[in-house]
Amino acid sequence: MKLKTKRLELVPLEEKYAKELLEIWQNPETIRYTNALLLDDVEEAREKIEGWLRRAAQSEYTTHFVILREQEVIGIVGIPAINENDGKYGFYYQLIKRFWNNGYGKEAAKAVLIYAIREVKAKMLLADAVPANEASVNILKGLGFKQIGITRHGFTENGNIHNVIHFQYV
């Protein structure tokens, strides 16, 4: 399943995108508001992708998409199943830093939100954001996600303690 927007194409995640996605996962700035570990090399990125694809193989739907702009990888977006039988999915997006502040995150996230509702028939989407990550919080709110809670001291990254805002789209 491919998705298209005005400026982007979203294609199913494959291992062949490991090198490009590593640019996200080895940059402390792009994962600073996540509990993900920094990756060192393409093999670690490939293993991460393999794990996601293994878990997603149970689904009849595409749940992870690579974001392309003019055939160049600029990020990843997805709806990993939490409980597919209940229609409950996660919701995430990550962009390579040099593509921030161009509206690509919101554009890709909106396309996957529409896909989740229309095609997957998701009944609930859950997302998390750190309050300091204003861009992500604004994307979620702009898409209609509602704040449903907050976890104080949700995780620690590089000695920084982060609260985590929990969002839901029903």
Quick one: pLDDT at residue 35?
Answer: 86
Arithmetic mean of pLDDT, 78-102: 97
Examine the pLDDT at 164 and tell me if it is beyond 90.
Answer: yes
Percent pLDDT > 90 in the chain is 92
Predicted confidence band of residue 157 (pLDDT cuts 50, 70, 90): confident
Q: What is the pLDDT of residues 91-149, one digit of tens each?
A: 999 999 999 999 999 999 999 999 999 999 999 999 999 999 999 999 999 999 999 99
Residue 53 has pLDDT above 90, yes or no: yes
Supply the CATH number for residue 111's domain.
Answer: 3.40.630.30
State residue 147 phi and psi, 5-degree precision: -70, 130
Three-state DSSP state, 2? coil
User: CA 95 → CA 38, 48, 102, 126, 148, distances in Å?
Assistant: 15, 16, 11, 19, 25
Comparing CA positions, the residue from 60, 40, 45 lying closest to residue 119 is 60
pLDDT tens track for 6-16: 999 999 999 99
Structural domain boundaries, residue 91? 3-169
Beta strand pairing call for 92-95 and 72-78 = antiparallel
* Residue located via tokens 């597919």: 84
pLDDT, position 160: 86
The chain-wide mean pLDDT, for the chain, equals 96
Q: How large is the average pLDDT for residues 28-40?
A: 92
